[in-house]
């Protein structure tokens, strides 16, 4: 049986900090959820999910169980260690070493954040609702670090060529910030192609970040590589993980 497949983040990570996103292969889930589904809420056999999570933890030699969230497309941020396991939140932060943050996605954008010294880590699940609601801003605020002292990495999400939305979504973004209109391109059907990566970069830049990496993948376009809810409807979830190695 093959090992879980992991796409390591390409970013200027502080020493001892690791991040990346799983691909869909290397697990035991079957059918439309094959094979490395890591979510418990998509109709998979819980035993298969538990096996996939255990295989991933062993493969990556994780220092602890990931801090799994109950994601609701909101802006709440949980601090690891101050809130119990599996809080309802779409962002999480961790201070110190040995704590593993995680978000699950299958088209939404995972955003990873780390302070320059690696002492403060943050992660956010940012679909269009989360971006509009301010989940990135809330996660940066929870870190308590000026944006100019943070590194960000944008994991795999649905790309603008595949992400069609209605005019109501574009109008909602522009009502909050007219400049967001640049992230939407009109199509021949009278609707709009939305660029989650551009929307996220715009928010990160406004928060003072200049070190922003990633943002070139498309989950929809790569069926053999990524899960995509918009493409398949019944779809597993990848995990984006972030942690700092424990001290020796």
| Rounded Cα distance, 218 and 29, in Å | 23
State the pLDDT at residue 171: 98
pTM to 2 decimal places: 0.97
Query: What's CA 206's distance to the chain center, in Å?
Result: 20
In the predicted model, residues of the chain with pLDDT beneath 70 are 1
What pLDDT does 1 receive? 59
The 8-class DSSP code of residue 242 comes to E
Instruction: Say which residues have a Cβ less than 8 Å from residue 168's Cβ, sequence separation at least 6.
Output: none
What integer pLDDT is reported at residue 247 of this predicted model?
Answer: 85
**Which residues does 214 contact at the CB level (< 8 Å), separation at least 6?**
9, 10, 11, 153, 154, 155
Angstrom distance (rounded) from CA 176 to CA 186: 19
Q: Which domains does the chain have, with CATH numbers?
A: 6-157+211-244 (3.60.140.10)
């Amino acid at each position: 049986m093959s090992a879980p497949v992991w796409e390591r983040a390409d970013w200027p990570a502080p020493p001892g900090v690791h991040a990346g996103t799983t691909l869909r292969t290397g697990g035991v889930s079957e059918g439309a959820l094959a094979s490395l589904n890591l979510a418990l809420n998509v109709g998979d056999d819980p035993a298969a999910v538990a096996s996939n999570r255990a295989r991933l933890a062993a493969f990556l030699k994780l220092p602890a169980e990931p801090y799994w969230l109950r994601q609701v497309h909101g802006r709440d941020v949980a601090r690891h260690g101050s809130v119990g396991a599996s809080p309802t939140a779409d962002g999480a932060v961790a201070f110190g070493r040995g704590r593993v943050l995680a978000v699950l996605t299958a088209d939404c954008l995972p955003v990873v954040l780390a302070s320059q010294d690696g002492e403060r880590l943050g992660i956010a699940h940012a679909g269009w609702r989360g971006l509009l609601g301010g989940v990135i801003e809330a996660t940066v605020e929870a870190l308590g670090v000026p944006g100019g002292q943070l590194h960000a990495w944008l994991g795999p999400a649905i790309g603008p060529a595949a992400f069609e939305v209605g005019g109501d979504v574009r109008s909602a973004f522009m009502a909050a910030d007219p400049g967001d209109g640049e992230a939407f391109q009109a199509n021949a059907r009278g609707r709009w192609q939305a660029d989650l990566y551009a929307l996220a970069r715009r928010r990160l830049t406004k928060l003072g970040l200049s070190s922003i990496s990633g943002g070139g993948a498309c989950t929809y376009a790569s069926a053999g590589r990524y899960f995509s809810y918009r493409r398949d409807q019944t779809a597993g979830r990848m995990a984006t993980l972030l942690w700092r190695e424990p001290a020796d």
